[in-house]
Amino acid sequence: MILIPICIRFLFTPSSKGQRMYNDAIYDFVAVGVGPFNLGLACLSSAVTDLRCVFLDREEEFNWHPGMLIEGVTLQSPFLADLVSMADPTNPFSYLNYRKQQGSLFNFFVRENFYLERQEYNRYCRWAVSRLDNIRFNHQIEQVVYDPDQRVYRVTGTETKQNKSFSFLAKKLVVGVGMKPRVPDCFRPASRGIELHSSRYLKNKPELQKQKKITVIGGGQSGAEIFYDLLKDSEKFGYQLDWVTRAPRFFQMETAKLTLEILCGDYGTYFHGLDKPTKQKIIEEQKSVYCGANQSLLDEIYDFLDASRHSNLPQVQLMPCMNLINVKQNNSDNKSADSTNGYFLQFAHTQTGERYQTDTGGVVLSSGHLYEVPSFMEGVFDRIERDEQGKYLQKENWSVDIHGREIFIQNAGFESHGLINQDLGMSCYRNSRILREITGQDIYSIENRFAFQSFEPGKESGWNPMGSGVPR
Ligand SMILES: Cc1cc2nc3c(=O)[nH]c(=O)nc-3n(C[C@H](O)[C@H](O)[C@H](O)COP(=O)(O)OP(=O)(O)OC[C@H]3O[C@@H](n4cnc5c(N)ncnc54)[C@H](O)[C@@H]3O)c2cc1C
C-alpha cells in the first residue's frame, strides 16, 4: 500500500450551528474516541511515515475514568501494559521514557513497584497526548456515513468549544468509544441510575459523605475501592456504611500465572473461533478472573476493620448474597422518623430466598459497564455485520464491516475475543494487528505464540483430532 500525503484544507461555511468546519483531505483512518486503546494506536501510528490519521474525542481533554481516579488506587495491570511497550519496547511513548523525561526514572527503579497508581497512569497518558499533534478534543461524533463515489467514510459531528459542525473523510475507521455504565433494571429511568454509578463516584463523594448512611452495591474492584475509600473517612464524617454484593462471598480476582494466559493473543484467537453458546458459558465461568477485587485491597479492608474494632467507627456492614430487586425514592411521604433521606432498597437473599428492605441516604452503583453500539454508527449499518441483538459480529482482526478491512472496533465487550478485549496488557497486540490491517505492513512484529499452554492442540502437538463427540 502506498500512503500518499494529502494537503489538508479546511473550508468554513455558515450553518445553524455557527460555522462549518469541512476538512476535505482523505485520511487513511479516522479514530473515534481517545481512551487508552486509541491513544495507544495514536502513539504507535506516529512513527509510521506518511500514515495520515486523526483522533477525535468529545471531552475537553484526556482524563482516564475521572470519577474513579481515587487517590492511591492502582492499575490492575503492570506498568508494561503502557501505551506502546508490548508492541515496541524502544518506543519513545513508553512509560519508562516518560519517567526518564520527567527526570524520575531512578525513583521508579528504587520504588520497585510494577503497579502504577491510576492518577499516575492518567498523568502519563496526558503526557503522551501533549506530544501528539493529531488528537482533537471537543469533537463530538454524531454521524458516520459512507460515500460510495469517493469510497470513503464521512465522520461528522460538532466541535463543542466553538459550536461548529465538522466533517472528516477517511478510508477506514477505528472506533474506541469505551463502555457505558451498567445500571440495574430497577433503577429506571436509567439516567437516574447513571448519576449514582461508580463512574461518577468522585463527583458525588462530597454529597454522599453528608448522608447518615451510604450503601455501596457491587463487590467487584470498583465497589471495593469505593467502599474502602468511604470506610477510611467514616469515623470522621460519622456515616454508616453498607457494602453489598450479589455474589456468594467477597472474593479476590484470580491471578494465577497460568490463568492469566487467557489474557493473551493465542487465547483471543481460540475464543474467537468458538460458537456463541460456548462463549457465553465460558464468560460466565471466567467471572473469577474479571469480577472480584484484588487480594491486597481485600486484605487492607480486612485489616482496617480489625484495627477499628475498638474505635468509634459507625456501623459497617458487609452483605454477600444480596440481589437488588427494587428501589424506591424515600421522600417525605413515606420516610420513617429516624430514617435517612434517600432510598428504600429491596434485596433478595440469593441462597435463603428471604427478602429485605433497608433505607439509605446515598447509593453507589458499582454495577460494571457494558458495550453499546453507538448511535453515530447507524449511517453505516448496511456495511456492518451484526447479530440478531444488534451487537457487532467482529472478525478475528477486530473489523466489523462486510469486507473485513475497513471498520475496526476497540473494546466491544467479551463476545468476540473474550477477556482480552478490555485488557490494557493486550492493547498493543490489537493495535499492532489493526495497524497491519490498515497499512498492509508488519510495522510492529507480532508474536506467533504467547502462552505455554495450548488452548486447542495444534498439528505439531501430535494429538490427532477424532471429530467432536462432546457437545461444546
Ligand atoms: C475504573 C476502571 C479501571 C480500570 N482499570 C483497568 C486496569 O487496571 N487494567 C486493565 O487492563 N483494564 C482496566 N480497565 C478496563 C479498560 O482497560 C478501561 O476501561 C479502558 O479505559 C478502556 O479504554 P477505551 O479506550 O476502550 O475507552 P475509554 O477509556 O472509555 O475511552 C473512550 C473515549 O471515547 C470518547 N467518546 C465516546 N463517545 C464519543 C463520541 N460520540 N464522540 C467522540 N468521543 C467519544 C470518550 O469521551 C472517551 O474519552 C478499567 C476500567 C475502569 C472503568
Mean pLDDT of 195-213: 97
pLDDT confidence tier of residue 470, bands split at 50, 70 and 90: low
Burial-class residue 320 by CB neighbours within 10 Å (0-12, 13-18, 19+). middle
Strands 355-360 and 342-349 come out as antiparallel
Q: Which domain holds residue 378?
A: 10-179+371-439
Asked if residue 209 lies in contact with residue 239, where contact means CB atoms within 8 angstroms, the answer is yes
Residue 267 lies in a domain: no
End position of a domain, from candidates 323, 339, 368: 368
> In terms of domains, do 203 and 169 share one?
no
End position of a domain, from candidates 353, 368, 383: 368
Pocket test for ligand 1, best of 63, 177, 410, 421 (most atoms within 8 A of CB): 177
> In terms of domains, do 201 and 119 share one?
no
Residue 120 Cβ inside 6 Å of ligand 1? The answer reads no
E runs forming strands in 70-163: 135-136, 139-147, 152-159
> In terms of domains, do 100 and 229 share one?
no
Residue 444 lies in a domain: no
Residue 178 Cβ inside 6 Å of ligand 1? The answer reads yes
Residue 380 lies in a domain: yes
ipTM above 0.95, yes or no: yes
The CATH number of whichever domain residue 94 belongs to comes to 3.50.50.60
Mean pLDDT of 172-178: 98
Q: Please give the mean pLDDT across all residues of the chain.
A: 92
The pLDDT, as a whole number, for residue 17 is 53
Mean pLDDT of 194-207: 96
> In terms of domains, do 217 and 344 share one?
yes
Residue 41 Cβ inside 6 Å of ligand 1? The answer reads no
CA 400 – ligand 1 centroid, Å: 20
The pLDDT, as a whole number, for residue 110 is 97
* Three-state secondary-structure class, residue 258: helix
Residue 386 lies in a domain: yes
d(CA 432, CA 396): 13
> In terms of domains, do 322 and 205 share one?
yes
> In terms of domains, do 86 and 67 share one?
yes
Residue 209 lies in a domain: yes
Residue 449 lies in a domain: no
> In terms of domains, do 212 and 191 share one?
yes
Residue 466 lies in a domain: no
> In terms of domains, do 192 and 244 share one?
yes
Question: Does residue 469 register a pLDDT over 80?
Answer: no
> In terms of domains, do 19 and 128 share one?
yes
d(CA 29, CA 26): 8
Question: Does residue 337 register a pLDDT over 50?
Answer: no
Structurally, the chain folds into a number of domains equal to 2
Q: Where are the alpha helices (DSSP H) in 311-421?
A: none
Residue with cell string 477525535: 56
Question: Does residue 26 register a pLDDT over 50?
Answer: yes
Burial-class residue 196 by CB neighbours within 10 Å (0-12, 13-18, 19+). buried
Asked if residue 196 lies in contact with residue 190, where contact means CB atoms within 8 angstroms, the answer is no
CA 319 – ligand 1 centroid, Å: 29
pLDDT confidence tier of residue 19, bands split at 50, 70 and 90: low
Higher pLDDT: 468 or 364? It is 364
Mean pLDDT of 216-229: 98
d(CA 175, CA 76): 24
Burial-class residue 289 by CB neighbours within 10 Å (0-12, 13-18, 19+). middle
> In terms of domains, do 361 and 383 share one?
no
419-453: pLDDT as tens digits: 999 999 999 999 999 999 999 999 999 998 999 99
Mean pLDDT of 174-202: 90
> In terms of domains, do 15 and 78 share one?
yes
End position of a domain, from candidates 368, 389, 405: 368
Which residues is 154 bridged to in the sheet?
145, 169
pLDDT confidence tier of residue 9, bands split at 50, 70 and 90: very low
Length of the chain: 472
The pLDDT, as a whole number, for residue 16 is 45
Residue 465 lies in a domain: no
> In terms of domains, do 145 and 237 share one?
no
CA 209 – ligand 1 centroid, Å: 27
The pLDDT, as a whole number, for residue 213 is 97
Question: Does residue 6 register a pLDDT over 50?
Answer: no
- 423 is written with which cell numbers? 485488557
